[in-house]
Amino acid sequence: MSTPASSVVLTATPTDHAIARWAALAVALSLVDASLPTPLPGLKPGLANIVTLVVLMRFGMGAAVSVSLLRLVATGLVLGSLFTPGFFLSLAGGISSLAALTLAWKVLPKAYFGGVSLSLLAAFAHLAGQFALVRFWLIPTDGIFYLIPPFAAVAWLTGLVNGLVATHLLRVHFLERPPSC
């Protein structure tokens, strides 16, 4: 296979470029997250989720999934944590929150539920996914349930703040107005 008979040409569409740009922004925010000091490992604001939310509300679920998964793998590469337990923790959280977002995006009526609801659901799903992985794989004892309450409180707060920021950014930059205004 030293000289391939034919070569495959991959053409990046403008959509691909846009997704790559959003993912790059999300990676930058993930790095900010990773560099913030925290009292408990894993307790962080999840700033990259703002990007996921904005992309979801602006471009739909498919784009949000791409950006989120690209961000997870690229952040793993940059931090050197690819395929370490920390990476799988992020992946479990990311996949869970994407699943929750998919469901919420389909089910919740958009006239009543905005970015904050999506953000909160994603935050709690993230937490649930991570703790499921920790309980069944990394630390298989019920003792870790003791850590759930503070993490849930932080998930509530970061879910609210990230949801507000995402909604605000959408409204300012894409002039998306909710029906009530």
Partner 1 sequence: MQAHAKFTTIAWHRLLRSGDWGMLGVSALLVGGLFSQFWSKQVADVVVVRAGGKVVAELPLRHNRLLAVRGALGETLVEVRQGRARIARDPSPKQYCVRQGWLTHPGETALCLPNQTSISIPSPHPAFDTVGY
Which CB sits closer to partner 1, 21 or 168? 168
* Residue 37 DSSP SS3: coil
Residue 117 Cβ vs partner 1, minimum distance, rounded to whole Å: 4
The residue type of 160 is L
Residue 24 Cβ vs partner 1, minimum distance, rounded to whole Å: 22
DSSP 10: P
Q: Are 160 and 119 in contact (CB under 8 A)?
A: yes
Residue 50 Cβ vs partner 1, minimum distance, rounded to whole Å: 13
Longest dimension (CA), the chain: 63
Rg (CA), the chain: 18
Binding residues for partner 1, rule: CB under 8 A, are: 108-109, 111-117, 120-121, 124, 141-143, 145-146, 148-149, 152-153, 155-156, 159-160, 163-164, 167-168, 171-173, 178, 180-181
Which CB sits closer to partner 1, 81 or 117? 117
* Residue 39 DSSP SS3: coil
Q: Are 16 and 64 in contact (CB under 8 A)?
A: no
Which CB sits closer to partner 1, 65 or 166? 166
Residue 112 Cβ vs partner 1, minimum distance, rounded to whole Å: 4
